[in-house]
Amino acid sequence: MTIAWNAFGPSLEDLIRAQSAALREATAISPLTSSQSPRAAFRLRFRDGRTLKGRRLETAQQAETVWRLSQLHLRSAPIARVVAQRSEALLEEWLVGRAIAAADPETLRSAGALLGRLHRIDAPGLHAKRVVEQRWIDDSLDAGRLVRAGLLDEPAAREAAVLARASAPVDAEWGLCHGDFCAQNLLRVAERGLHVVDNETICELWYDCDLARTWYRWPMNASAFETFLDGYRLHREPSEFIAHFRFWAICVLLRSAAFRQRNSVSTEPPLARLRLLVREPLPSWTTR
């Protein structure tokens, strides 16, 4: 053991102790930590040679959602398996592979195809269009706390909201989303190809919001993202996303900034992208 048992919390400790072999070593690996959030992740090595990833999420409801969706829809998908859940805690398969380094065209197309494949997983209730509710829009574009904290000036917040509302769709396709599909969450696994890891954000949402989240979390120039979309459209046509890109991107950036502010983490990454987005011309990605 490299860390104390009480670092796991009761629910994750119970899952660990319920395994068939004793824990040999544990290492904290959380990339984004905050004293305001219970989120944490650990690499867990057991005495029988297995390695798992232990997670503690924000709430039990979030963990239950990840568990339910992964068991219903993702058993054969190229993602790290979620193997156990208790309250806010999860255990996941630990995948060994090569991180994505250079974003070459083939990797970008493969990654786009993988996200498109996840968005096309067939199950009752998925793929239907769902209204983009005014309440969700208002909540996404509410930058009041950011403005009051001096993190975003009021004219910029107002301009972003006006631009977003001008390009808002009435409805959009809804279904299974990853929530954080980006280069740092992809591994090339030997004999298995590209796989997604860090699946704590799996949820049901509008697909185009998930695409915008990828655009934010995986910064690419316009040409590189076009290549990513070429792979994506092997499974789903992104023309509606392109038509309403500014809306989804602004909503994603402001929601990310608000989340970071609540957790006392720097808001500069999403707000820097927001400032660029509102003053630069829209990308001219291809629609077909």
Please name every residue paired with 46 in a beta bridge, in sequence order, or none if there are none. Answer: 23
What torsion do the CA atoms of 255, 261, 264, 270 make, to the nearest 10 degrees? 60
Contact 115, 211 (CB under 8 A): yes
The torsion angles phi and psi of 186, rounded to 5 degrees, stand at -120, 140
The torsion angles phi and psi of 98, rounded to 5 degrees, stand at -100, 130
Domains of the chain: 5-93 (3.30.200.20), 98-279 (3.90.1200.10)
pLDDT tens track, the chain, 288 positions = 568 888 899 999 999 999 999 999 999 987 655 556 788 999 999 999 999 999 999 999 999 999 999 998 888 889 999 999 999 999 999 999 998 876 789 999 999 999 999 999 876 666 689 999 999 999 999 999 999 999 999 999 999 999 999 999 999 999 999 999 999 999 999 878 899 988 899 999 999 999 999 999 999 999 999 999 999 999 999 999 999 999 999 999 999 999 999 989 999 999 999 999 998 888 777 666
> What's this model's pTM, rounded to 2 decimal places?
0.91
